[in-house]
């Protein structure tokens, strides 16, 4: 497990690079942290590191957003905060995304815990202060 502490958002590129270098073939990344911890902000930094020019925003109401990396690969961004039941993820067709080989970032994975693939990266974000965060990448 890697642990990275940052003092400001400007240091997120370091976390993004560490996340990407730790994937080891995994394509689903579960992001855990309280509301406002910076899950979407981290996904934005990773998308930028991959050369995406799309505007990265939280898909809270749409449940999933799609971005394109600089080399044309798809990046999917899920936000399951508002779902009430795992069946809603089935209705969305989550399996097609999670097992596509495309990079998938999942906010609020605890809402679909039983549906997550075994081979996944876990990123835990802890709020240490107004701009300080600790990232645990496993």
Q: CATH number, domain at 105?
A: 3.40.50.300
* 8-state DSSP, 83: -
Secondary structure (3-state) at 53: coil
pLDDT at 9 over 80: yes
Using one digit for the tens of pLDDT, what is the confidence trace for 86-112?
999 988 899 999 999 999 999 999 999
pLDDT at residue number 100:
97
Q: Are 125 and 134 in contact (CB under 8 A)?
A: yes
Q: Is the pLDDT of residue 130 over 80?
A: yes
Helix, strand, coil shares of the chain, percent, nearest 5, are 30, 30, 40
Q: What percent of the chain has pLDDT over 70?
A: 100
62 band by pLDDT with thresholds 50, 70 and 90: confident
The pLDDT value given to residue 59: 84
How many folded domains does the chain comprise? 1
Question: Cβ contacts of residue 30 below 8 Å, gap of 6+?
Answer: 106, 109, 116, 120, 121, 122, 123
Region 46-74: what's the mean pLDDT? 92
Per the prediction, the chain carries an average pLDDT of 95
Range of the domain at 101: 2-137
């Amino acid at each position: 497990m890697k642990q990275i502490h940052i003092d400001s958002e400007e240091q997120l590129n370091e976390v993004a690079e560490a996340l990407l270098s730790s994937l080891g073939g995994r394509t689903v990344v579960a992001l855990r942290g309280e509301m406002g911890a910076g899950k979407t902000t981290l996904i934005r930094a990773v998308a930028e590191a991959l050369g995406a020019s799309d505007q990265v925003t939280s898909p809270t109401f749409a449940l999933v957003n799609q971005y394109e990396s600089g080399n044309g690969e798809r990046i999917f961004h899920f936000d399951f905060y508002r779902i009430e039941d795992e069946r809603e993820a089935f209705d969305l067709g989550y399996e097609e995304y999670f097992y596509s080989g495309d990079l998938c970032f999942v906010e609020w994975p605890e809402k679909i815990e039983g549906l997550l693939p075994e081979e996944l990266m876990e990123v835990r974000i802890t709020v240490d202060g107004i701009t300080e965060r600790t990232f645990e990448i496993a």
